[in-house]
Structure 1
């Protein structure tokens, strides 16, 4: 050990190597580039699931976001930039979700051949005057939208509605066909299967929610705008577009009054962020809590249980039916 202490650079190299080993052992997103396949990097879970389903054995999909991590304020590592620079496609939601994308793309460098695809393109975006307190600039397209709508902010949670998810899936499929036309028929066939499942889920949401007596929900995080728009619901949110946007004390008082006046029986919370505020409001209003999942990512338990977009959205529907009776 004295030998190492007398040679500081040796000790530094040893510590660095240990850090690398320990980092490699951690539970995280990521993966390695595979030669001979279409390599695709996705920014977070829903895009990863759709990209994997449509790509099948013809693609290698690397997801950047680790399991159990909320995507709003995550930032990539140098390894993520390196992997993406070697891939053929980089798929991200856009609409202001991933504030790190502009700098990420600059870091990749102009000599890389990867194509960046904003998969929410074509979704009719929702604008809100709710400021989430974060700079979510999602690239030139999103900045142009922001300027066009003055002080309004884009709701980035496009995938939470099966109707918008279908647009996202089609954009993914189209990017595959363009990048790898030799397997175009395979991508088309898998997309059709996914599209049918999304249509079935959409029809089920429409049918079941049309039977409920109420149409107003209280949620912890303003993530359900597209779901509410597409199925005739109204959301009242404790926090803004970002789950880190803290409410004021008077906001809780106002929401408690709304809950009591409208006879709302449940306050919805989500697994990837703290349920403290939802429980506080529920206690104040004398009601219970339930999960409504924005499907921004899987917890480790959900990953082990084999959950996916469809199982989580089915659970969402059942909880909505219960809450809206």
Structure 2
């Protein structure tokens, strides 16, 4: 959908509305036809399974997550799971627990007794290890973990391949000629931040570039911390010629810092972000970033769950690390002469 949005010059949300045939929206006929034409051209699947008059006996998927409102990523994974489920004659019911054990227990007590329940997608907003609730461990339906993983046996899970994402972002800067590359990361106790940092270090090692702790700063994923840390790095006696920011919001802050110091991007400073939020393609210059495959992870989780339920197979202990591809735009160039 990102590819279609880019070619059509519209947002990914507009593409989703068109491909899912959402009526009552203000998408023009011309835009709708353009999106559908591009989708057909690149082979995006648009044909749903034919529906019979009677719904399957078990066609309800419980999507249980700790948070919804703190990040746009949650809605992308839900969208992916819901679309795949709909193609397979299933529907998804979403509940957010706000990390409240009592609320989680109450939801499970109500939903696990539903005769239409096909299975459960258990999701988290931050990638982390979880303890699968006792009610799910004893449930007679399959369970798939989304953006999390567990010590317990028998639960397939899907998480983003963050190490390779950090590696791809840093290596892109190295291949452009940069050797002093700053990292503005998130809180190190978060799994995503730790793995993106690991990918950054692996890329430096691959290119025989010494790791310099002075070029690494710990932010909080917000624009303000990206701005402050970028200012501090760019005011060093020997400043970096490029910055890898561990999310797009901090990259926006870094771009503001470069503007305050009158450093042209990418002429004097190159910047790579992470997440590929909608803003990345609209800021100036458009931001090179790493795509978090939220939509595809949601689809994988739903497809795996439905497949196991319909085959009557127990869950397999498999952890899929889904690729986080680099999205190349205009914020990276060669280091300026003398850098």
Bin the TM-score by the shorter chain: 0.3 to 0.5
Task: Between the two structures, name the one with larger relative contact order (CA 8 Å, sep ≥ 6).
Answer: 2
Under a length normalisation based on structure 2, what TM-score does the superposition of the two structures give?
0.36
Higher-helix-fraction structure: 1
Q: Which has the higher strand share?
A: 2
TM-score (norm 1): 0.37
